[in-house]
């Protein structure tokens, strides 16, 4: 039997939802962008988000991920010292000015990569973990694929321009969320605004993230710039328990990058609100039960449902319930029997499983006899006489 499709009018959710619909469209100057409300998993903005693009120094986040994983599984500690090769010393661009006599600690290298964007530090990490930068780049690509970063390939550890150094904005967001969620003990390094490292690079000791210190909750992650990639930023901010993570690329100047990043953070926090719209155990429908000790069971929400919704009223929120009816007993308490789909203006729909409110055991002789009689009466067009 096909499940009936039952459309709920807004009245079913009106108490909690009616005042919370649509958003104003956001136009970004970035050539590619991806914005996600990390607390709810709601994608707020996509623009060329799955296109593989040159990531510049934003790809250093993958080098850091590999290093954080090595810390997690005990291959290294924050006090482990790495050697510096001639190749690492020769790196151009932004550096820590390391030389072959140095033995920087893992912690110093983390700070050097995040704050100073040290290309030399990236090569030191790559060679220290994999022997060569080429081998490390292959491991980065394999690990990225395993983490669901489908549009990422790596040729080096630093983001130095190369035709095979590519990442999509969505992949960078996946990576940023991982660094935040999986490595909280190291994430604090991303908010450090200065790292002088032995005073060797006084003009390169400041974090390039333009949002740090603005009082908008920004606490990471990494800027990037090359002539090919333009100016980009992987950023994240936390306000009142909500976290927004975003990636932008292809801006023309550092000033544009700073302005666009701040605009995105302000828009994401001011144009959307998070609300609890359904409570655990709330009844939304009933379905018939065949051969059970009772004839109907309620479909309920298994947990409190919080949802991100646009903050400006435009239109109603619609919802649909689909479920099988009848369901053959026995039924377990909490067994999934249906689905609620809530359609939000200009945002992806939210799907919520609906479960049985209580267990229903298989009935004895009388319920089975009643069911058989009902089947026969329906087949021959006889009205139910109250069996």
Torsion angle in degrees (nearest 10) through CA of 242, 245, 251, 254: 70
The residue with greater pLDDT, 248 or 363, is 248
Give the closest residue to 250 by CA, choosing from 191, 172, 178: 172
Residue range 297-309: mean pLDDT, rounded: 87
Residues pairing with 354 in the sheet: 338
φ, ψ of residue 150 in degrees (nearest 5): -80, -15
Q: In the chain, where do the E strands start and end?
A: 5-8, 32-37, 42-47, 218-226, 230-239, 242-251, 272-278, 283-290, 296-300, 305-310, 318-323, 327-328, 336-343, 350-356
340-378 confidence digits (pLDDT tens): 998 877 778 888 899 998 999 987 555 555 555 555 555
Which of 21-25, 35-39, 71-75, 293-297 has the weakest average pLDDT? 21-25
Residue 307's pLDDT is what? 80
Name the residue with tokens 């999986």.
182
Confidence of residue 326 (pLDDT cuts 50, 70, 90): confident
Contact criterion met (CB below 8 Å) for 146 and 36: no
pTM comes to: 0.80
Most confident of the following: 19-28, 192-201, 256-265, 269-278: 256-265
DSSP state of 12: G
Q: What is the mean pLDDT of the chain?
A: 87
Instruction: Report whether pLDDT(102) > 90.
Output: yes
Contact criterion met (CB below 8 Å) for 357 and 300: yes
């Amino acid at each position: 039997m096909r499940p009936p499709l039952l459309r709920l009018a807004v009245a079913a959710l009106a108490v909690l939802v009616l005042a919370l619909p649509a958003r104003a469209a956001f136009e970004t100057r970035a050539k590619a962008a991806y914005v996600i409300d990390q607390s709810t998993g709601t994608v707020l903005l996509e623009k060329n988000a799955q296109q593989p693009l040159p990531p510049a120094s934003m790809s250093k986040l993958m080098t850091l991920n590999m290093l954080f994983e090595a810390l997690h599984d005990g291959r290294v500690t924050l006090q482990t010292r790495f050697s510096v090769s001639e190749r690492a010393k020769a790196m151009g661009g932004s550096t820590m000015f390391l030389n072959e006599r140095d033995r920087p600690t893992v912690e110093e290298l983390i700070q050097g990569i995040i704050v100073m964007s040290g290309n030399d530090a990236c090569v030191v990490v790559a060679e220290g973990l994999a022997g060569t930068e080429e081998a490390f780049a292959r491991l980065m690509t394999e690990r990225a694929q395993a983490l669901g970063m489908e549009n990422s390939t790596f040729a080096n550890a630093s983001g130095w321009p190369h035709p095979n150094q590519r990442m999509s904005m969505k992949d960078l967001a996946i990576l940023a969320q991982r660094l935040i969620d999986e490595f909280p003990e190291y994430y604090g390094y991303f908010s450090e605004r200065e790292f002088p490292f032995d005073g060797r690079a006084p003009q390169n000791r400041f974090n390039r993230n333009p949002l740090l210190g603005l009082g908008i909750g920004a606490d990471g992650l990494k800027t990037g710039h090359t002539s090919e990639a333009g100016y980009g930023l992987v950023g994240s901010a936390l306000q009142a328990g909500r976290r927004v993570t975003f990636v932008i690329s292809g801006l023309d100047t550092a000033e544009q990058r700073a302005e666009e990043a701040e605009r995105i953070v302000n828009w994401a926090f001011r144009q959307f609100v998070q609300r609890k719209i359904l409570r655990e155990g709330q009844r939304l429908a009933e379905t018939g039960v065949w051969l059970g000790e009772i004839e109907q069971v309620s479909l309920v929400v298994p947990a409190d449902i919080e949802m991100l919704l646009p903050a400006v009223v435009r239109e109603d929120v619609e919802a649909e319930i689909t479920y099988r009816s009848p369901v053959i007993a026995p039924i377990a308490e909490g067994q999934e029997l249906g689905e609620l789909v809530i359609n939000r203006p200009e945002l992806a729909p939210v799907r919520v499983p609906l479960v049985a409110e209580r267990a229903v055991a298989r009935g004895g002789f009388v319920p089975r006899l009643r069911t058989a009689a009902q089947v026969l009466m329906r087949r021959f067009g006889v009205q139910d006489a109250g069996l």
